[in-house]
Structure 1
């Protein structure tokens, strides 16, 4: 019978091997807190390393301004600043200030600015770090605009109607230079808006005057043509004179008939004087009928002539009134043009920074740590709920 070997030696080695396989206390702690280390501690440590050893200093230049125009007498909505400006004879224009703020964040401004300022060189200085600098030496307009919006911030304050401009670069002189260029671009935009507004008002008023002048000329030419065709300077007066003549003829006819009746009372009917009176009566009657026929019938009848003449006179009167109103509007527009001038009023000028304000390392690290800690806590609660539900 074969005897099995003794297992005491293996039994003696088993505790030592088990002790070697058991993880150390440090390893157990690392395993226990590996989630916190990976989610919170490691990113925070990387951020600390970046801001202390890699991040380049960024210098800021600030400026504040507003767009102002003539005072309208109501600056209560702007608070103390608006009251002060209104007392000086002008007021801030919130709509134009907001338009300038939008322009400062637009791609059009970036394209315009590249013609006078080398933006790429400014944001690719040798001292700039890899993560903060502009990566490409020949970026597209879209990429440069996205980077520009990171480094240039324009904010509008609705209470004071002012625009705050903040420019960040890697050199103090670059920040001031770029801020000055942005202010000049804003002034150019406001000047274009002002010129367009004033030009439109005066241009519209001038066109109205031209239209009224053509109407006046047309009405006067029509009236002249009417007078030439009718061979009458003032048909109203001529017709009134004709009616007065008819009236006198009728008076003479009445007097002659009365005289005839009177003489028939004591003269014979074949008396020569009776024949003269009868002939005069017939002549007056014929003349009256001819005058009435001329005034009421035919192409040159008085009603038709009067209607056409009055219509032309009314058109001329309306044209003269329109011209007078248009001329008044033009003078008003010109007066407003002299007053309605918008321009940028600077409250604070850009200055060269004496020390770097960015990146804000302490604030960023603390904020990152707090956010990651909250995320870790929420994640831990969610996983704990899953494990409890699974068990």
Structure 2
């Protein structure tokens, strides 16, 4: 009771300080409301142009916007015959040097393809691209709104969620895929990597097909020509029942030469005998008969070598066979040259081959990194605040100019 009397006395003494004497509680509350109304009215433009939009943006991103998960992968595109131009880091780890000048165009080819309409069309057919961005759990402003989007609209939406960046210093391309589910982001990133590798393989086929195909056709023609000539030579041996016409001709020439030498010796002996022995003697007759026999043999064997009337002579057969041999030798040289050109074309094609190597495989995201709510809200607030300050300064300058004038 004593404490109550004490606080009653103190409050009665301070009533003139806290509020005017005779003022009621209603009057105090009315004065406070008036001051708040005056403050709100004074800052109405700042509240309407800065605070209210910032609050709406914050409400959307913190209460409505769906979480987005990012899956990343790094890859390099290199040529098999790339010159070793130095380099460190990833190039040395992978066992080759990544030259910036040699990898620019190749990496750009894959980058352009992964962000192209062709890649979007393939993902739409093979990986349910549209369905992944139209799930019911995605908020209306973030999802792909059209059930059947046009290729242009889908490409525009796709490029907001898929990025490919090339680091010219390191020679590494970074693939980033954002989706509204972790497994969607991972699946799309993995699919895009395989599509990039398939595109590189198609480029390899197109670039190497012309040179290798031409060399292959030339090799096949040379092989066919050589096989045809070999068949003709086999048929020639079969028709003439002679497995080695060249050897037979040489043997025949040797035989004629030997018979001619024997004939010359026999004639010489017969001529020497004529001065000492009678023509009727048995010895002379025997030697004469031997000379006659040798003459007939030489004539017979010589007729087999060549005949003025043509016919199936050794000379004729050997000439035809030697012609086939010359053609076979030419075909063999052509085949050797074609085979060397084909091997060279293959080696050059291998040097020009492109390879896509995954440096970092796509990850399965666990935590959503997008949207960056705090950064977005603060960016909106400061942007609007700066715009408001500039506008306020301009309005104040106009007013000051109008008052002074």
TM bracket, shorter-chain basis:
0.5 to 0.7
SS in 1 for 2:95: helix
TM-score in terms of structure 2 length: 0.60
CA distance in 1, matches of 2:203, 2:303: 64
**Distance (Å, rounded) in 1 between the aligned partners of 2:279 and 2:186:** 120
SS in 1 for 2:178: strand
SS of 2:89's equivalent?
Answer: helix
Provide the secondary structure at the position in 2 that maps to 1:156. Answer: strand
8 A contact 1:59–1:168 mirrored in 2? yes
Deviation of 1:238 after TM superposition, in Å, equals 1.0
Correspondent of 1:84 among 71, 77, 93:
93
Aligned residue for 1:148, secondary structure, equals helix
The equivalent residue for 1:305 is 317
**How many residue pairs were aligned?**
324
Alignment of 1:89-238 (within 5 A): 94=103, 97-114=107-124, 115-120=126-131, 122=133, 128=139, 130=141, 133-169=143-179, 171=180, 173-174=181-182, 177-191=184-198, 193-194=200-201, 217-238=227-248
Find the aligned partners of 2:389 and 2:291 in 1 and give their Cα distance.
128
Q: CA deviation at 1:105?
A: 0.8
Determine helix, strand or coil for the equivalent of 1:160: coil
Q: Quick check: 1:152–1:167 contact (8 Å CA) kept in 2?
A: yes
Q: Distance in 2 between matches of 1:208 and 1:44?
A: 77
Contact 2:80 2:354 in 1 (8 A): no
Q: Is the 8 A contact 2:87 2:98 kept in 1?
A: no
Are 1:61 and 2:75 an aligned pair?
no
CA contact (8 A) 1:62 1:164 kept: no
Indicate the residue corresponding to 2:360 in structure 1.
347
| Structure 1 residue ranges without an equivalent (≥5) | 1-36, 375-391
In the TM superposition, what whole-angstrom CA distance separates every residue of 1:13-67 from its partner, at most 9, and x where no partner exists? Answer: xxxxxxxxxxxxxxxxxxxxxxxx9xxxx99999757744556466351413214
In structure 2, distance between residues paired with 1:235 and 1:269: 44
SS at the partner of 1:257?
helix
Mapping for residues 331-346 of structure 1, pairs under 5 Å: 342=355, 344-346=357-359
Task: Give the TM-score normalised by structure 1.
Answer: 0.62
Deviations 1:327-358 (A, max 9, x none): 9x89x98xx99xx9955424153324444344
Question: Within 2, Cα distance between the matches of 1:277 and 1:98?
Answer: 99
CA RMSD of aligned residues (A): 5.1
When residues 372 and 117 of structure 1 are mapped into structure 2, their CA distance, relative to the original with a 3 A threshold, is: farther
